[in-house]
Amino acid sequence: MAAQVPVLGEIVGLKRESGSRRLASAAPSDIRLRNRTAIMRALYPKTWLSRAQLAKITGMSKVSTSDVVAELIKDGLLIEGEYKNLPRPGKPALDIGFNQDAGCVVAMDLSDSTHIRALAMNLVGGVLLREELDCPPQAVLDVEAIRELCNKVCQGCRSKVIGIAVATPGTVNDEGLVIEAPNLGWVNMDLPSVLADVADCPVVVANDADAAVFAERYFAGGSPDMILVQIAKGIGAGVLISDGIVRGRGFTAGEIGHVVMSGGTVPCVCGKTGCLETMVSVPVLDERISKDPDGRSGILDEAGQNLGRALAMPVAMTNITQIVLSGPRRLVDETMVQATQRSIDALARSRFMDAVHVQLSNLGEDAAMLGAAAMVLRKELSVL
């Protein structure tokens, strides 16, 4: 069936508007696009509705609804399901649903430069296949290896690849240019151009913590107002406020790892002393625990308390309701979560401020890849 699925250029009608200012009155093409988006959103990801129900929900006329549904079925994006049993006599209504197999997104995670992971996902977040690649430790991550891995996954997809999504550490601008990723040895790496011809589809590149917070929101029922803290070689946070990712003018929002903490005494690679990263990162905690295995619980409790100290102010500043901790489960566990919760409660909670809920990531190590893929779905299909 893959051959019948339209390529992205053909379903461009679903793309979000951007660029020039619009006049007050909507052009017919705008109305058509809005109607297509409204129908898609009503059904995404797994809702089945009759044409009459769709018309009621979207406020469109029955004729317009039927026309748009027919167009989307023709494009391969919607499918017909079963007949509904109506409570009253009359013509039975046919259910319409979103076609999760209309295409797929290929996603990659570069957060561990020695172990790159990739997956292909259907259009509702279901993982179809996985590939991994071990890279030797090197000062600069080889983009050819990334291209090859990406190509391998794209070749393995049975449906049309509608977009490639890459989650990377470092700062990334709106065009997907990796401005700087010290852990990968990259400066101004134009990853979208590197991967442009792999599957002849759009390439979305996002900071890994930004991608992970997006995934927690859309694939794990997360709050529209939350902070995701990614604990890896470094520490980064993805900040979601009213469903918008906070990126900052220089795209460095959430880079909390090199903020100096009171009481910190360990010199940091950045030249300062006592950065959060010298207290909570994976290499630091692994090393401390390897030297003192019996002290593991106390070490992780202390890390959680320090994380809570760092997060108390942004929590009070933004009134976010959820904090998600993401990282290897051997370190980022319930002990760390509870210590973080206690610390924030003690520092920020008051009769004016409700408790923020601290929890582990529901998506584990797939979070960044699924989130970057979700960004493709938002950009190309407008369903999120």
The residues of the shown chain that bind Zn ion, judged by CB under 5 A, are 258, 268, 270, 272, 275
The nearest distance, CB 304 to Zn ion, in angstroms, is: 20
Find the farthest-apart pair of alpha carbons in the chain and give their distance in angstroms, rounded: 77
**Whether the bond into 45 is cis, omega within 30 of 0:** yes
Q: Whole-angstrom Cα distance, residue 274 to residue 281?
A: 12
Alpha-carbon distances, residue 40 vs 48, 58, 81, 323, 382 (angstroms): 11, 10, 15, 30, 8
Residue number, 27 or 270, with CB nearest to Zn ion: 270
Partner residues linked to 343 by β-bridges: none
Partner residues linked to 119 by β-bridges: 107, 130
Which residue from 224, 252, 254, 222 is spatially nearest to 238, judged by alpha carbons?
254
Residue number, 169 or 222, with CB nearest to Zn ion: 169
Residue number, 69 or 280, with CB nearest to Zn ion: 280
DSSP state letter for 50: E
DSSP state letter for 9: G
Residue number, 102 or 279, with CB nearest to Zn ion: 279
Name the residue with tokens 């009213």.
242
Q: Whole-angstrom Cα distance, residue 279 to residue 257?
A: 9
Residue number, 272 or 342, with CB nearest to Zn ion: 272
The nearest distance, CB 192 to Zn ion, in angstroms, is: 30
Residue number, 65 or 230, with CB nearest to Zn ion: 230
The nearest distance, CB 270 to Zn ion, in angstroms, is: 3
The nearest distance, CB 256 to Zn ion, in angstroms, is: 10
The nearest distance, CB 275 to Zn ion, in angstroms, is: 3
The nearest distance, CB 64 to Zn ion, in angstroms, is: 57
**Whether the bond into 314 is cis, omega within 30 of 0:** no
